[in-house]
Structure 1
């Protein structure tokens, strides 16, 4: 049986894609599913115990209950914490989408569900001709959008939803992540997006003093996402 899988995109960088991905992984584990995670492209890595480590990838490993080999979980890892196409060019690395598709095929044989986290926003370049939207298309996965709830999030979210649709991809759901605890009228902003996004709101994660993905999972409806993923296009 082929694993369920989806691509986690964000309205921007640093809005909680990894945090939400980890929270969903905890939710899938609570549903007695074998859950694996991929971070196919990661920039910002350091050597530890003789191997390159990326913080986001390590967090995904900790939240998943199925461990993937590093070369499958993260086929491309660059050292500098900068835009991936710039980091890759500086290290002489070609970000080959086909290699990621092959890695995802392997991951899908080892778990019931595979969470694939993108890098940066939805249209971050990978090289002169491709971006992360092209990666999502090549993988052929429905998308879960993480919206960082802060000033400006409405336009960013709706533009990203349009970009997802323009690539022929299905938006399986979205998550409102309260990244700015001081934002005025966050509930009203979320309500506005709920009216305009034609996909289920999977949950609202409050701003947590400590980024505890297991606690964040309490605010997400992983079963709703599973039901959505089972729906036919």
Structure 2
């Protein structure tokens, strides 16, 4: 049976793509088919093939069977700023309905595990009325939360958990990603998160010299998702 999840984070730049690619890689090691979607990406580079986003390319590398880039990242925005601002400046319309429809196209491929990666945290605007989380709500997706382990992470994680629950979605699991190697009392913060987040911890990812998907996958448990 195909499984679909929405990957969000406690903030921007806390490793959503790193963790999503790691989970997809872990699924591939089990012989499962995989797909990744980055519905909207701000911060794309111009290439001969068109605008390309580093995060979407990382997801594409873990898709088995391969997927066309346009399916993985249907909305590409060049400016590395908040998506709704980048879209407004580029005169590109953004709506939850359209992005959900793009995700459904990938779901139709019926991969064993499909991950839809958000942008930033849970409450990132798409336009003046909708948030990117409305895509997850429209698709009724269970959520995987990436917790960036740094000062303040407990508050950010618990607020994110509350917001996900308030929006009627199920938190399927969470991952602790050590983004700050100098974080004080890492073990104590991790213990508190494990006690307070009522969902499976899918892994604790340390600071890695090379945070490629294979290295990250070694620290993750994909079984609860598949």
Q: Structure 1 length as normaliser, TM-score?
A: 0.94
Structure 2 counterpart of 1:66: 65
C-alpha separation between the residues in 1 aligned to 2:225 and 2:219?
A: 13
Contact preservation (8 Å) 2:60, 2:69: no
For 2:65 and 2:8, the matched residues in 1 are separated by 22
Give SS of 1:32's match. Answer: coil
Match of 2:164 in 1: 164
Q: CA deviation at 1:70?
A: 2.5
**Structure 1 position 194, deviation (Å):** 0.7
Q: Please name the residue that 1:208 is paired with.
A: 208
Question: What does the per-residue CA deviation read over 1:91-137, in whole Å, with 9 as the maximum and x for residues that have no partner?
Answer: 01111222222222221122222110001111011100011221210
Q: Distance in 1 between matches of 2:174 and 2:210?
A: 22
Aligned to 2:155: 155
Q: Structure 1 runs of 4+ off > 6 angstroms?
A: none
1:108 and 2:107 aligned: yes
What is the CA-CA distance between 1:184 and the residue it aligns to? 1.1
2:138 paired residue number: 138
| CA spacing shift, 1:144–1:119, aligned 2, 3 Å | same
Name the SS for the 1:225 alignment partner. coil
- In structure 2, the residue matched to 1:230 is none
What 5-or-longer segments of structure 2 have no aligned partner?
Answer: none
Q: How does 1:69-84 map to 2 (within 5 A)?
A: 69-84=68-83
Q: How many residues align?
A: 225
CA distance in 1, matches of 2:71, 2:96: 13
Question: What is the rounded CA distance, in whole Å, between the counterparts of 2:60 and 2:39 in structure 1?
Answer: 13
In 2, distance between residues paired with 1:21 and 1:204? 13
Q: Which residue of 2 aligns with 1:41?
A: 40
Root-mean-square deviation (CA, aligned residues, Å) is 1.1
> 2:31 maps to what in 1?
32
1:7 is aligned to 2:6: yes
More off after superposition, 142-151 vs 109-118: 109-118
What is the CA-CA distance between 1:21 and the residue it aligns to? 0.3
Residue 174 of structure 1 aligns with which residue? 174
CA-to-aligned-CA distance 1:22-80 (integer Å, 9 cap, x gap): 00010110111110100001001111123111010011111222322233211211000
Tell me, yes or no, if the aligned pair for 1:36 and 1:64 is still in contact at 8 Å. yes
1:52 equivalent in structure 2: 51
In structure 2, C-alpha distance between the alignment counterparts of 1:106 and 1:212, rounded to whole Å:
27
Partner of 2:20: 21
* TM-score (structure 2 length as normaliser): 0.96
